[in-house]
Amino acid sequence: MSEPLVIIGNGMAAARLVDELSKVALGRYAIAVIGDEPRLAYNRVLLSSVLAGEAASHEIELKPASWWRERGVTLKYNCMATEVDVGRREIKIANEESVSFSKLVLATGSSALRLNVPGADLAGVHTFRDTRDVDLLLTLAAQKKRVVVVGGGLLGLEAAYGLAKAGATVTLLHLMDRLMDRQLDGPAAALLKSLVERKGIEILLNASTARIHGETNVTAVELVDSRRIDADAVIFAAGIRPNTALARDAGIAVNRGVMVDDHLQAGVPDVFAIGECAEHRGICYGLVEPAYEQARVLARHLAGTDAAYTGSVVATNLKVSGVGVFSAGDFTGADGSESLVLRDVNHGTYKKLVISEGRLTGAVLIGDTADALWYLDLIRNRKPIAQIRTDMIFGRSLAMQSEAA
Amino acid sequence: MTAVDPALRAVRTTCAYCGVGCGVLATPDGRGGAAISGDPEHPANFGRLCSKGSALGETLGLESRLLHPMIRCGDAMQRVDWSDALDHVAHRFQHIVARDGPGAVAFYLSGQLLTEDYYVANKLMKGFIGSANVDTNSRLCMASSVAGHRRAFGADTVPGCYEDLDEADLLVFVGSNAAWCHPVLFQRMLANKQKRGARFVVIDPRRTDTVGDDDLFLGLKPGTDSALFNGLLVHLADNGALDPDYIERFTSGFDDTLARARRMAGSVAATALATGLTERDVAAFFQMFAKTTRVVTLYSQGVNQSAQGTDKVNAILNCHLATGRIGRLGASPFSLTGQPNAMGGREVGGLANQLAAHMGFTPPDIDRVKRFWKAPRIATHEGLKAVQMFEAIGRGEIKALWVMGTNPAVSLPNADVVREALKKLDLFVVSENVLSNDTVAAGPHVLLPAEAWGEKSGTVTNSERRISRQRAFLKAPGEAKPDWWILSEVARRLGFGAAFDFKSAADIFREHAALSAFENNGARDFDIGGLKAVSDEGFDAMAPVQWPVSRDAQPQARFFAEGGFYSNDRKARFVAPEMPALRTETTPARPLRLNTGRIRDQWHTMTRTGMSPRLGQHLPEPFIEVHPDDALKYSVADGGFARITTDYGQCTLRVVVSERQQRGMLFAPIHWSGANATGARVGSLVAPYTDPFSGQPENKATPASIAPYEYVFRGFALSRMPMELPGHAWVARVAVTGGHGYLFADNADLRGWQAWMHAAASDDLAEYNDFGGGIYRAASFRGDRIEACLFVGAAGDAGDWNVVKSLFAADALSDMQRRMLLSGKSAEGVASAGPVICACFGVGRDTICNAIAAGARSAAEIGVKLKAGTNCGSCIPELKRLIAQTPVEVDKRKLAVAN
Ordered domains of chain A (ranges, CATH)? 3-110+240-302 (3.50.50.60), 125-236 (3.50.50.60), 330-404 (3.30.390)
Count of CB atoms situated within 10 Å of the CB of B542: 17
DSSP secondary structure letter of residue A334: -
- CA-nearest residue to A398 within chain B is B830
Q: Does B791 touch chain A (CB under 8 A)?
A: no
Q: Are the CB atoms for A318 and B872 separated by under 8 Å?
A: yes
What residue type is assigned to position B497 of the chain?
A: G
Q: Does B765 touch chain A (CB under 8 A)?
A: yes
How many whole angstroms separate alpha carbon B274 and alpha carbon B272? 5
Distance from the Cα of B430 to chain A's closest Cα (Å) equals: 48
CB contact under 8 A, A394 and B840: no
| pLDDT, position B889 | 59
Residue among B773, B833, B874 minimizing CB distance to A318: B874
Judge if the upstream peptide bond of residue B548 is cis by omega within 30 degrees of 0.
Answer: yes
Regions of chain B with pLDDT less than 70: 1-8, 829-832, 834-835, 888-899
Distance from the Cα of B870 to chain A's closest Cα (Å) equals: 10
Q: Does B769 touch chain A (CB under 8 A)?
A: yes
Question: Which residues of chain B lie closer than 8 angstroms to A326, CB-CB?
Answer: 839
- CA-nearest residue to B798 within chain A is A390
CA angle (B534 as vertex; B529, B540 as ends), nearest 5: 130
| pLDDT, position A322 | 78
Distance from the Cα of B736 to chain A's closest Cα (Å) equals: 25
Whole-Å CA distances, A151 to A180, A209, A240, A350? 9, 10, 11, 23
Question: Which residues of chain B lie closer than 8 angstroms to A292, CB-CB?
Answer: 871
Residue among B770, B815, B830 minimizing CB distance to A340: B770
Distance from the Cα of B786 to chain A's closest Cα (Å) equals: 13
Q: Does B880 touch chain A (CB under 8 A)?
A: yes
Q: Does B767 touch chain A (CB under 8 A)?
A: yes
Q: Does B832 touch chain A (CB under 8 A)?
A: yes
Distance from the Cα of B789 to chain A's closest Cα (Å) equals: 13
How many whole angstroms separate alpha carbon B410 and alpha carbon B305? 16
Question: Which residues of chain A lie closer than 8 angstroms to B871, CB-CB?
Answer: 288-289, 292
CB contact under 8 A, B829 and A344: no
| pLDDT, position B825 | 87
Selected for mutation to probe chain A from B771, B826, B872, B879 (highest A CB count within 10 Å) is B872
CB contact under 8 A, B823 and A369: no
Spatial CA neighbour of B624 closest among B671, B667, B591, B685: B667
- CA-nearest residue to B765 within chain A is A344
How many whole angstroms separate alpha carbon B620 and alpha carbon B843? 43
Spatial CA neighbour of B366 closest among B376, B347, B348, B379: B379
Q: Are the CB atoms for B396 and B366 separated by under 8 Å?
A: no
CB contact under 8 A, B772 and A343: no
In DSSP terms, which residues pair with B13 in a beta bridge?
B24
CB contact under 8 A, B769 and A371: no
Residue among A54, A338, A346 minimizing CB distance to B772: A338
Count of CB atoms situated within 10 Å of the CB of A194: 13
- CA-nearest residue to B843 within chain A is A370
Question: Which residues of chain B lie closer than 8 angstroms to A293, CB-CB?
Answer: none
CB contact under 8 A, A372 and B781: no
Residue among A343, A390, A395 minimizing CB distance to B773: A390
CB contact under 8 A, B768 and A289: no
CB contact under 8 A, A398 and B876: no
How many whole angstroms separate alpha carbon A48 and alpha carbon B661? 71
Distance from the Cα of B805 to chain A's closest Cα (Å) equals: 19
Q: Does B755 touch chain A (CB under 8 A)?
A: no
- CA-nearest residue to B763 within chain A is A346
| pLDDT, position A385 | 93
How many whole angstroms separate alpha carbon B210 and alpha carbon B173? 8
Query: Judging by beta carbons within 10 Å of its beta carbon (0-12, 13-18, 19+), is residue B503 exposed, middle or buried?
Result: exposed
Question: Which residues of chain B lie closer than 8 angstroms to A398, CB-CB?
Answer: 820, 823, 825, 827, 830
Q: Are the CB atoms for B548 and B556 separated by under 8 Å?
A: yes
Count of CB atoms situated within 10 Å of the CB of A272: 25
Residue among A288, A394, A402 minimizing CB distance to B820: A394
Distance from the Cα of A251 to chain B's closest Cα (Å) equals: 33
DSSP code per residue over B358-395? TB-SSHHHHHHHHHHHT-SS---S----HHHHHHHHHT
Q: Does B819 touch chain A (CB under 8 A)?
A: yes
Tell me which H or E stretch contains B553: none
The strand pair at B650-657 and B623-626 is best described as parallel
| pLDDT, position B828 | 72
CB contact under 8 A, A391 and B877: no
CB contact under 8 A, A398 and B836: no
DSSP secondary structure letter of residue A10: -
Q: Are the CB atoms for B631 and B695 separated by under 8 Å?
A: no
CB contact under 8 A, B768 and A349: no
Residue among B764, B819, B832 minimizing CB distance to A346: B764
Residue among B781, B825, B840 minimizing CB distance to A398: B825
CA angle (B630 as vertex; B625, B632 as ends), nearest 5: 110
CB contact under 8 A, A43 and B832: no
Residue among B766, B825, B833 minimizing CB distance to A343: B766
Q: Does B873 touch chain A (CB under 8 A)?
A: yes
pTM over 0.80: yes
Reported as half-sphere exposure (CB side, CA atoms, 13 A), residue B515 has a value of 28
Q: Does B841 touch chain A (CB under 8 A)?
A: yes
Residue among B827, B831, B877 minimizing CB distance to A46: B877
The strand pair at B170-174 and B70-73 is best described as unpaired
How many whole angstroms separate alpha carbon B798 and alpha carbon B753? 13
- The answer for residues whose C-beta is within 8 angstroms of residue A139's C-beta and 6 or more apart is none
Spatial CA neighbour of B761 closest among A353, A190, A344, A352: A344
Helices (H) and strands (E) in chain B, counts: 30, 34
Helices (H) and strands (E) in chain A, counts: 10, 25
Distance from the Cα of B746 to chain A's closest Cα (Å) equals: 20
Output the CA torsion sign for A196, A200, A206, A207.
negative
CB contact under 8 A, A370 and B833: yes
Side-by-side strand order, sheet with A220-223:
A209-213, A220-223, A228-230
CB contact under 8 A, B768 and A60: no
DSSP secondary structure letter of residue A282: T
Q: Does B794 touch chain A (CB under 8 A)?
A: no
CB contact under 8 A, A373 and B841: yes
- The answer for residues whose C-beta is within 8 angstroms of residue A71's C-beta and 6 or more apart is A18, A22, A26, A31
Spatial CA neighbour of B72 closest among B395, B407, B402, B448: B448
CB contact under 8 A, A318 and B818: no
How many whole angstroms separate alpha carbon B811 and alpha carbon B800? 19
Digit-by-digit pLDDT tens for chain A (405 residues) are: 689 999 999 999 999 999 999 999 888 999 999 999 989 999 988 888 898 888 888 889 999 999 999 999 999 989 999 999 999 999 999 888 899 999 999 999 999 988 899 999 999 999 998 888 999 999 988 898 899 999 999 889 989 998 998 899 999 999 999 999 989 999 999 999 999 999 899 999 999 999 999 999 999 999 999 999 999 999 999 889 999 999 999 999 999 999 999 999 999 999 999 999 999 999 999 889 899 999 999 999 999 999 999 998 888 887 777 788 999 988 888 888 999 999 999 999 999 999 999 999 999 999 988 899 999 999 989 999 999 999 999 998 888 877 666
Q: Are the CB atoms for A74 and A32 separated by under 8 Å?
A: yes
Residue B233's SS3 state is helix
- The answer for residues whose C-beta is within 8 angstroms of residue B164's C-beta and 6 or more apart is B296, B329, B330, B331, B332, B334, B558
In DSSP terms, which residues pair with A112 in a beta bridge?
A240
DSSP code per residue over B178-217? HHHHSHHHHHHHHHHHHHH--EEEEE-SS--TT--TTSEE
DSSP secondary structure letter of residue B616: G
- CA-nearest residue to A58 within chain B is B877
Question: Which residues of chain B lie closer than 8 angstroms to A288, CB-CB?
Answer: 871-872
Residue A363's SS3 state is strand
